[in-house]
Amino acid sequence: MSHGKIITLSSGAPLPQIGLGTWLSKPNEVENSVEIAVRNGYRHLDLAMIYENQDEVGRALKKVIPSVVKREELFITSKLWNSSHKPENVEKELDETLKLLGLEYLDLYLIHWPVAFPPGGFFPPHPTKKNEVAIDTETSLVDTWKAVIELLKTGKVKAIGVSNFTIEHIQGIVDATGVWPTVNQVEAHPLLPQDDLVEFAKKHNIHLTAYSPLGNNLIGQTKLVDYPEVKEVADKIGATPAQVLIAWGVYRGYSVIPKSVHEERIKSNFQQITLSKEDYEKIFAIGKNRHTRFNIPVTYDPKWDINVFNEPIERTATHKVKIA
């Protein structure tokens, strides 16, 4: 079982350090995986509207609340999708999320990506440019953040934050509102340590949640779990490579949300281990002089052969997103 480590957020809320991710699961898989996870001790669930499976999560929650766990014992996060960034649509999407889940409130609600799409579908096509998504250049991140701040008054969310935001994005919304995000959820693994962002977050008491902690699953690329260094550490301490990578994130102070729909892996990922400083540094060295990101919004829907930012992700420029 997990050590049961709890992170105390700036809001004062307790966040279980190991959670279950629900992204990229096939139909009818998430309901089963969420039920398995909760029955085996998970109390932190990470969701999003764009994952298109919150109805399944809701069905699973009905099976475990209150027979297995009380609602207040779960920490449930969801996210506002890009096409609902207009202030008048923010609470509407939250209400839809709560309806799908069968809940009265979320523990944490995040702006999923720092880019706005016009309303009308998850990936509205550009009106004139083939294979490009339409971008809402009028709605700023500050506009959206102000609307998210207002949600705190409704009781429908306990805390608010962001996801995939850079230092510049966060500083921009804070300069305009004075309100810091409680959490920034980002892709984080040994190939993407983002040390500058980690330092900034610690300085301003922003907790980082690591998604895709096991790295990539791309054809033609070596999986992180197959890196020799990861296997060596795993063999040394009698753990799985996945457990080593999860422990790497825990060592750095993240909460970590590995995704799986396989019962044994769900259980195994929750069997938290601790890395020594030596083993942590061995894994950390994998990412030396690297900055490898695997996730951009287009990967959420394989039907779309587009780059949401219309340029390589490694060169995504903050000036292309309207911050204020």
**What amino acid positions are annotated as catalytic residues?**
51
Please enumerate in sequence order all residues whose Cβ is within 8 A of that of 210, keeping only pairs 6 or more positions apart, or say none.
185, 186, 187, 188, 189, 249, 254, 255, 256, 257
Strand partners, 125: 133
Spatial separation of the C-alpha atoms in residues 236 and 313, rounded to whole Å: 36
Spatial separation of the C-alpha atoms in residues 322 and 137, rounded to whole Å: 6
Tell me which amino acid residue 134 is.
A
| Cis status, amide bond into 66, omega within 30 of 0 | yes
Residue showing tokens 């109390």: 43
Q: Is 160 helix (H, G, I), strand (E, B) or coil?
A: strand
Q: Is there a contact between 51 and 23 (Cβ–Cβ < 8 Å)?
A: yes
Binning the chain into helix, strand and coil, the percentages to the nearest 5 are 40, 15, 45
DSSP code for 192: B
What are the strands of the beta sheet with 75-80, ordered from one edge?
20-21, 44-46, 75-80, 108-111, 160-163, 183-187, 207-211, 255-256
Q: Is 171 helix (H, G, I), strand (E, B) or coil?
A: helix
291 CB neighbour count, 10 Å cutoff = 10
Q: Which of 214, 164, 155, 177 is nearest to 18 (CA)?
A: 214
Spatial separation of the C-alpha atoms in residues 111 and 57, rounded to whole Å: 20
303 CB neighbour count, 10 Å cutoff = 7
Angstrom distances, CA of residue 18 to CA of 41, 179, 239: 10, 26, 16
